[in-house]
Structures are given as C-alpha cells and as structure tokens.
Structure 1
Amino acid sequence: MRLRIDLAYDGGDFHGWAVQPGLRTVQAELAAALATALRIPPDDPAERVEVVVAGRTDAGVHARGQVCHVDVDDARMARSAADGPARLVRRLNGLLPPDVRVRTVAEAAPGFDARYSALWRRYAYRVSDRPTTSDPLRRGWVLSWPRELDTELMHQTAQTLVGRHDFASFCKRRVGATTIRTLLDLDVTRDAEGLLEVGVRADAFCHSMVRSLVGCLIAVGEGRQVASWATGQLATRRRDPALTVARARGLTLEEVAYPADADLAQRASVTRATRQEHEATGERVEP
C-alpha cells in the first residue's frame, strides 16, 4: 500500500528535510515515527521506511503544505492501524515532536508519486521592512529587514524572471542535476498590515533557488542594484558573489499541486523522462 502523507513543520530547529548522519532532520523524525507506529523492526533492512517528498526543504525552511509518500506492506498496515490511515495520523502525531505535525494520511491513488506527480510547488517568503509590521512573536518565520523596500519595483523586476530558463545563477549546483526550471509566478505584494510577501510558484526548484531569487529582488528593492541586474544574472548562468541568498527563516513551502487521479501516473512518467533528458544532454535554455 502506498500512503500519501500531508504534513507541516517549523524548520527552525531542523537541518533541512533530507536525512543527514548525526543531524536532526524532518525526514529522519518522520521515518522513525512511521517505523514505531507500524512496528517495523529497526534492524530489518528489508522493511526500512523510505519516505519520498515533494520538495526537499533546506535547513531552517518551514512547510505548511508538504507532501510525501511511503510504501507499506499491506499486512503490516492492517495489524498496526486497524482503523486505517485515520488512526495512523493520531499515532504519528503522538510520536512526533511538536514542531512536526501530520495533517492527513490516506491511501494514495494509483500512480501517485509525491515528487514526480507534482504539477507545481508554491512558496512564500515574508519580510518585515517597516516598524509597523515588526513583531517579535513571528521572528522565526519572517525576515526582519532594516530598510523599507520598493514593492512595485521588486514586482516589476520579478516579472522579467518568469518563464522557462536555466536558473544556474540562482542555484547551488548539484553534480549531474539540471538547473532548468519553469517559473510560473513570481509576485511581490503586501498584505493588509503591510508585511511584504514574495510568492513564487514553479514546476520544481533547484537548491537555494527561491532564497536566491528573493535575495536578488531585495537588492533591487533597496536600491543596491538596478532592475536590469536581475536579468543580467540570469543570462550569465554563473553564481555572482554579489547575489546574496536570503536567510532561511522567511521561507515557507505553502502548497504542492497534483493533477486528477487519472493523470497521476502519466504526469510522473513525463516528469521523470524530462528530467533525465535534461541531465543526460546538459540542455541549456536561452533566457
């Protein structure tokens, strides 16, 4: 049985999503809780819990709408959660630390893959750049900035980055991984209170891409760089030391979208094939 798990977490005390020896990570906490809840022996490699996630968040990044899947032996699932996935939610939240909460667990539709079936991921980065929005109670998930930023200029600049490009300048490269992504939306707005929010949506993101985009927009918004500097960065396809990666605390994964159940398997197949083709050919895309 494949289970879909929707969860949220405060990333402030985690070294990111992915398991790292000797470090506290969300994946490790969830896998340990699943193993306990499903009564999987820790020394049985044949039944090791493998959690596949929609988006691997970096250290300090939060999530409100994270999605993952795990494959569980049907018989073990029946013995461990007699009332089905609903009971498993209660058991997991009783085992997990308070900075991780499972929201729902359900049997996944045929063909569902948390990573490859996803249509897009949506993040929000929040900045307090006015004294009226300063609130120490939310310092763990909002970046405090000492100077007011030009929201309209940042938004106009952001629109020049939307589309399908090679975002190598905005990513920390991984060996063999493509940096080609389709940026669907990049908007800079303020809420009713005046808190600045950078909303970004894409088919997928490479390492540190969102925080690099935010760092670029902040540099423009406070006048350290001109608007055309952003597209110049995109064209170079090389990391510029002047492009600062924004701190993790302001970033939250808000939502992951999937197609209708009937289209899940096809979407996963297309995504895998596209990603493998890019990585095999080293395809470049003109900005």
Structure 2
Amino acid sequence: MVVAHEVDGNIRVRLDVAYAGADFSGWAAQPGRRTVAGVLTDALATIIGAGRVTGLTVAGRTDAGVHATGQVCHVDLPTGAWRQWSQTLLRRLAGVLPTDVRVRAVAEAPPEFDARFSATFRRYEYRVTDAPYGAEPLRRHEVLAWPRPLDLAALNRAAAGLVGEHDFAAYCRRKEHATTVRELTGLDWRRDPDGVLVATVQADAFCQSMVRSLVGAMLVAGDGRRPVEWPGGLLGRRERASEVTVAPPHGLTLVAVGYPEDPAEYASRALRTRRLRLPTSS
C-alpha cells in the first residue's frame, strides 16, 4: 500500500483543537508550567508512544488565559502508527485529555501543510459586557466586565481607523529581528441579543498581545474617555504606547484559522508568509 503523503517514513497530521485557557500558561511548552502544547504532547505520547510524535507546530501561540475554539496545529507521526491509530485517535484523545482541552478533528495532511506558515488568516473574538451588574456567573471566564457604558457606534468608528496594513508597533511587544507590520483585514463590533459586545478581528498574523492591546484602546474610546480617532492615531508610533492598557486575556478567543482551499498552494503560501514585512512609506 502506497501512502501519498508519506515523507521520510512520517505522515503529517492536522489537529483542530479547542481549549479553555483559564488554567493554562498559554500554548507554548514551558518547564514546570501547564500549557496546551504540553498537555497535548503528553496525551499523544500516551496513545502512540513517547518520542514518536514530532514537529508539533501551531497556527497561533495564544497567551496565558486566552481561549480557543478554532486552533489548528500539526504533528508528524510514523506511518505505521498513523495506520494503526488513524480511525480511533480522535476518540482515544477524548479519553486521555483533560476536560479543558479537546481535539475536535484529526486528518492526514500533505507534507507541505504547515499549521503556522500556510495559514492565510487568524480570527479572534473578544467579549465584553457593560451590564451594571457585571458578567453572568456562567460566562465570567469568557466575558470581560466593563464598569462603564459602551457605545457600539463609537467602538466601530474607533475600529475603522485600525483596519488595513500598518505598523502596529504601538500595540505590540517588540521582539528582536521581528517586524510589527501586520494587515488587519477586518475589525468590527456587534452587540449580541444578550447584551454582550463582541469584537471580531482578523489579520494575516498578530504579534504578541496585539489583539488585547487593540481592544484596550478601543474600549476607552467606546466609553467616551478618549476620542474615537485616538486608537488609529497611535499607528504613527514606532514604539509600544505606554498609555494603552492591555485588555485581560479571559475575554479573548481564537475562533478560526484559514488556509488556501487548494492544498497545492500550501507550500507557496508558507513561502510568502515567511517574507519580512516592512513598514510602508505612506
């Protein structure tokens, strides 16, 4: 039997993952800390065997306390192990993983698929309530309670000034040899029937704390303490804006990661993603 996607005796496998971030120190494995990557690696090793799962790569490395319903990662498994476990791996993972993390789908992927670099977008949602009594008890781990009334129209006017390709240095924790230029392809607010305000933000990629910093800036425009032009006006900065408060992590959820519809484009997309983003002259 010939396996079309086999490379060097391994099969690349895509995992779609959801988790409640409250009790995790983020995605990335850290010594002595409970992380999503660490828990997932341990679960796979329990089923398939220690040292047999390699190359765990995630689409978005979420911070401590941030949730996900649409996270994507990939691993490489020995061909024999994949043949043995492919039909039962999803159910077996459900049996060994803790209840605050679930693998929702498992599928063989082409070797060119890269969960991080083949992605075309990441989409997050941030939830806030301005109800005078605060967040509903059953939703307190996913909804931020804001102590002042928020104006939906003002939030959306503030959001409009941030859409597009910009240098988001004012909203990012700068890392050495990394760019802060990103293309924000969508950012808007809605108020759900239960009164909770939801910001949906989508970009090709985000730098660390960027989404929560954007939300923090928009909230003070939405409650009237800053003009609606203020968040967009910070895009002229080339350093982190100290006056921007980073919104707490528990309101944030990674809800979707997009990929090219044609798997033949995975490799070319990965190459484009790796290009260095530079500030535009405008």
Q: Give the TM-score normalised by structure 1.
A: 0.90
Aligned twin of 1:229: 230
Structure-to-structure mapping, 1:1-287, within 5 angstroms:
1-41=11-51, 47=52, 49-79=54-84, 81=85, 84=86, 86-131=87-132, 134-260=135-261, 261-272=263-274, 274=275, 277-278=276-277, 283-286=278-281
Matched position secondary structure for 2:215: helix
Quote the Cα distance in structure 2 between the aligned partners of 1:53 and 1:161: 26
Matched position secondary structure for 2:154: helix
| CA root-mean-square deviation | 1.5
Counterpart contact for 2:69–2:255, Cα < 8 Å: yes
Counterpart contact for 1:35–1:49, Cα < 8 Å: no
Q: CA deviation at 1:271?
A: 1.2
Say which is worse superposed, 30-39 or 61-70, in terms of deviation: 30-39
| 1:209-262 residue CA offsets vs partner (Å, 9 max, x unmatched) | 000000000011112211222122111122222100000000000001111222
Paired amino acid for 2:228:
A
Say which is worse superposed, 156-165 or 256-265, in terms of deviation: 256-265
Quote the Cα distance in structure 1 between the aligned partners of 2:53 and 2:73: 16
Q: Give the TM-score normalised by structure 2.
A: 0.92
Counterpart contact for 1:31–1:50, Cα < 8 Å: no
> Unaligned stretches of 5+ in structure 2?
1-10
| 1:91-130 residue CA offsets vs partner (Å, 9 max, x unmatched) | 1121111100010101013421100111101000000112
Quote the Cα distance in structure 2 between the aligned partners of 1:3 and 1:199: 29
Quote the Cα distance in structure 2 between the aligned partners of 1:230 and 1:171: 13
Matched position secondary structure for 2:54: coil
Matched position secondary structure for 1:68: strand
Aligned twin of 1:44: none
Q: CA deviation at 1:133?
A: 7.4
Quote the Cα distance in structure 1 between the aligned partners of 2:27 and 2:239: 26
Quote the Cα distance in structure 2 between the aligned partners of 1:205 and 1:123: 10
Q: CA deviation at 1:270?
A: 1.6
More helix by share: 1
Quote the Cα distance in structure 1 between the aligned partners of 2:243 and 2:139: 28
Counterpart contact for 2:12–2:109, Cα < 8 Å: yes
> Unaligned stretches of 5+ in structure 1?
42-46
Matched position secondary structure for 1:50: strand
| 1:25-76 residue CA offsets vs partner (Å, 9 max, x unmatched) | 00000011111111235xxxxx463310000000000000000000111123
**Equivalent residues, number:** 271
Quote the Cα distance in structure 1 between the aligned partners of 2:63 and 2:129: 21
Counterpart contact for 1:169–1:236, Cα < 8 Å: yes
